[in-house]
Amino acid sequence: MTTGLSWVDIVSGEEHSWRHVSFDSMASYLWSLGYPGKDNIAAIVIEDFALLGGKALAQTGSKFETCQVIGMFKLWAYGDGTSIFMQPPSIKPLAQGFSGVKPKGAHSLSHHVDAFNHAIYWLRRQGHYRTVLEREGE
């Protein structure tokens, strides 16, 4: 019921800030920020969601809050034409290897680490980020 957010510099890969926002607060939170371009957000990277067959029964009665939050971000980005990039959850282990950062503690309090790693993976694919090993080898 929370979404992790991470603001990462597109050149350095440094995390400027992060936070967790509850589902019930997400729409008002995004509204309070204005459009992404106002803060020089170049891109929004989101972990995609797909209902897996083996988990369908467990989702009976779900309001699919994850899908609703993805929609909120898409609408927010649409306001000023900021690009959104969807990535599968399966990239997280590789992204953690690139960044050297792994979630610790309670899952509900580590979503921002997943967000950071998704950003790092996207930056790496765009040629904007050097891995931990590459930086150590300099």
Domain with 53 in it: what CATH number?
3.30.420.10
pLDDT tens, position by position, 1-46? 889 898 888 877 888 889 899 999 999 999 999 988 888 888 999 9
Parent domain of 102: 2-136
Residue 51: band (very low, low, confident or very high) from pLDDT cuts 50, 70, 90: confident
Q: How far apart are CA 88 and CA 50, in angstroms?
A: 9
**Which tokens is 133 given?**
């090993």
SS3 of the chain: helix, strand, coil, percent, to 5 = 50, 20, 30
Cα–Cα distances (Å) from 73 to 11, 63, 78, 128, in that order, read: 23, 17, 8, 23
The rounded distance, in Å, linking the Cα atoms of 103 and 39 is: 27
d(CA 3, CA 89): 14
| CA–CA distance, 31 with 11 (Å, rounded to integer) | 27
Q: How many domains does the chain have?
A: 1
C-alpha pair distances (Å), 50 with each of 9, 30, 83, 94, 109: 28, 23, 21, 20, 22
The pTM assigned to this predicted structure is: 0.84
